[in-house]
Structure 1
Amino acid sequence: MLSYTDSVMGSAQSKPEFITVLGDKQVGIGKEISLSCETNTEGLKVTWEKDGEKLICVQDKHIMKQDGTKCSLKILNADERDEGNYTIKLKNKLGTDSCSAMVLVELKEWRTVQWKQNAMVDSLKEFKMDNDQVRELNFLLFGPVGAGKSSVINTIKAVFEGRYCVICPVAAQSTKSNTKTYEKYSIRREGVIPLVFYDTMGVEKQESAGVRTDDIINALKGHITEDYAFNPILQILEGNPQYRMNPSLCDRIHCLVNVVRADKIALMDEEYINKMKKVREAARTMGILQVVFMTDVDLACPLIKDSLRYIYRSRKIKENMQKCSNLLGVPVNCIFPVKNYHEETDLNEDTNCLMLDALKRIIPSAQEYVVKCSTNTT
């Protein structure tokens, strides 16, 4: 039988349990990461893991300590490779227990955003076309079902019009496309701003489902008129009342906006990628500006879930931008992480600023394309 002294002094082991658990950490580059917890008993076998693999202690980098019932891990001079999920596992002959914590490492900011909504709105609402042939810039949104194409348009309209309103119907994730026709949306802010966004049916995996790549290419060329009903089986052909035979520069698309979800990039099926690449190749042949709006960034990285201002300090976002570039062949500097309104009913300045920043960066290049095309036709 255990003596009273043995029980009080903790020399008798119990099944391992945590009295305190690891806490999530968020640190900057070069800082120290400190993880600690307390157990209910001594003499435990303790192991640490990072992202499911045993953590090997590196001299002058990791300091693991076990002092009675207290366990700790220090990681010195943090860098982006230290980000991940850390788990401590306890074991003795009576059982096991474990707990985990997420460590996020803020990178040095690699792209800046002007977090001043009014200044950016004022700048963009003064935008004027400097071409007599073309009165407005045409942007076409293209991407998988549920990627957020329609939500991008709703968000842009909300930013400029000062209120959120579902103008463009939105599809639920993992469903058929809610957009059936070729829809045109103009932007208003104390008058009409010369920016037009075209919404399209979503891309689906099956060859006979979703928007046809041939139809998107025809839309890029200006052959398709507004309100055309997409047919997943048959592409639009000459002779169709909504096929424009001789499109002008005003009718053509001036910027192709590929829309993908930041939290689903690694899971994109090859069928989606191949269809998007076919459209991208056609756009490149025509010299059309191509960009990517990477949506749902708040779902892709915990670091920015509470504050979008960490967007260009996030390792996860940076990695996903690079993956997106590799998959679609679009340069990283043409990829813009954004957040759409989907659950919120009130507007958020940081959400607005992120979208405005993307528009501010792509509008000059789209206008340059118009100028180039105008010069070539004169």
Structure 2
Amino acid sequence: MAEWRCVWGHKNKDLKFMKDYQPYNEEVKQLRVLLHGPAGAGKSSFINSVDSALQGRVTDRALADNTIAGKTRKHRTYQFNKGGPGTFYPFVFTDLMGLEKGTKKGVCVEDIKQAMKGHIKDGYEINPCSQISEDNQNYNKDPTLNDQVHVLVCVIAATTENILDDESVIKMREVRLAARDLEIPQVAILTKIDEACPEVKADIKNVYKSKYLKTLVDDLSAKLGFTPTCIFPVKNYRSEIKTNDEVDTLILRALNKIINSGEESTACRPTNC
């Protein structure tokens, strides 16, 4: 099968883009990216993988300090070191507890909506049984443009996308519609592609030759409303001790799309919304 998308050869170009990037809107000090999706999809692993691709070495910060039994506990934001002491890339990733089936499991959809608006402070302990209240000490009553989310990223595992239950799909579509109403652009990340497809496990460069993954991307597009060009298959770093150029290429290509999507939302966004 011919490749249905071409990404190879972009790693150095994407790395240079990240190193040179500065938000167009001077009011935006750091582009804010919010990750959401089903529990266990690999949100924290994706943050670590982005960090690894940028640093040129495998890191595990997000998994080490904010998860118990593979589940994220708190609303937590991560910066990415740019090389020198105290220097960071002008974008941050915020991690949330995953969505789960059931009314008292996983993050509340209303908490995701509040996070998008910038109303939740870092360190908030997510309560699956109830949404954050305005009198909570971690409720931000007056969010600035820097507190608000500029890009929403939905993370879904390729191993489970085809068995997403109807309740999870309803919750995820509700989040997407809320982001649309806030004019927040959206990107989807399809993780665990090596576990889902034997061809990709044998050679990561087969990702865009895989009929199975192409079908998953098309199904995900139909089910949740993402355009196929906004869905990016990636392999997260898990047990590796060194980075890999092909793995980095997929991660950095997705990151490039995330950053450029954020620019579309912040370049002409009003201060108060």
Q: What TM-score do the two structures reach when normalised by structure 2?
A: 0.93
Distance 1:177 1:204 in 2: 14
Structure 1 residue matching 2:60: 3-state secondary structure:
coil
- The corresponding residue for 2:153 is 257
Of residues 51, 72, 77 in structure 2, which corresponds to 1:184?
77
SS of equivalent residue, structure 1 residue 141: strand
Alignment partner, residue 28 of structure 2:
134
What is the Cα deviation at residue 114 of structure 1? 3.4
Corresponding position of 1:350? 246
1:288 is matched with 184
Deviation digits for residues 74-122 of structure 1, max 9, x if unmatched?
xxxxxxxxxxxxxxxxxxxxxxxxxxxxxxxx2x222111335333212
Is the 8 Å Cα contact of residues 263 and 297 (structure 1) preserved in structure 2? Answer: yes
Hey, what does 1:312 align to over in structure 2? 208
Percent of aligned positions that are identical: 37
CA distance in 1, matches of 2:18, 2:97: 28
Moved over 3 A (4+): none
CA contact (8 A) 1:262 1:297 kept: yes
Distance 1:152 1:110 in 2: 23
Q: Quote the Cα distance in structure 2 between the aligned partners of 1:189 and 1:176.
A: 30
SS across alignment from 1:263 = coil
Q: Among residues 74, 94, 111, which one is paired with 2:5 in the alignment?
A: 111
Bigger RCO (CA 8 Å, 6+ sep): 2
- Residue 136 of structure 2 is matched in structure 1 by 240
1:218 to 87, 109, 114: 114
Distance 1:306 1:117 in 2: 21
1:167 to 27, 41, 61: 61
Following TM superposition, by how much is the alpha carbon of 1:186 offset from its aligned partner in structure 2, in angstroms? 0.6
1:170 Cα deviation after fit? 7.0
RMSD (CA atoms):
1.8
| Structure 2 CA distance for aligned equivalents of residues 318 and 251 of structure 1 | 36
Which is strand-richer, 1 or 2? 1
Q: Deviations over 1:39-87 (max 9, x none)?
A: xxxxxxxxxxxxxxxxxxxxxxxxxxxxxxxxxxxxxxxxxxxxxxxxx
Look up the SS of the partner of 1:257 in the other structure: strand
Compared CA separation, residues 291 and 306, structure 1 to 2 (3 A): same
Matched, 1:144 2:41: no
More helix by share: 2
Q: Match for 1:111: what amino acid?
A: R
Question: Per the alignment, in what secondary structure is the counterpart of residue 305 of structure 1?
Answer: helix
Partner Cα separation in structure 2 for residue 234 and residue 170 of structure 1? 26
Deviation at residue 245 of structure 1 after TM alignment: 0.9
Which secondary structure state, in structure 2, belongs to the residue aligned with residue 274 of structure 1? helix
How big is each residue's C-alpha offset from its partner over 1:194-216, in whole Å with a ceiling of 9 and x where there is no partner?
Answer: 11000101111111011110001
> Structure 1 residues 115-124 or 232-241, which shifts more?
115-124
Residues 184, 226 of structure 1: 8 Å contact kept: yes
Match of 2:15 in 1: 121
CA–CA distance in structure 2, aligned partners of residues 112 and 275 of structure 1: 32
SS at the partner of 1:256? strand
Contact 2:49 2:236 (8 Å CA) reproduced: yes
Deviation at 1:176, TM superposition (A): 6.5
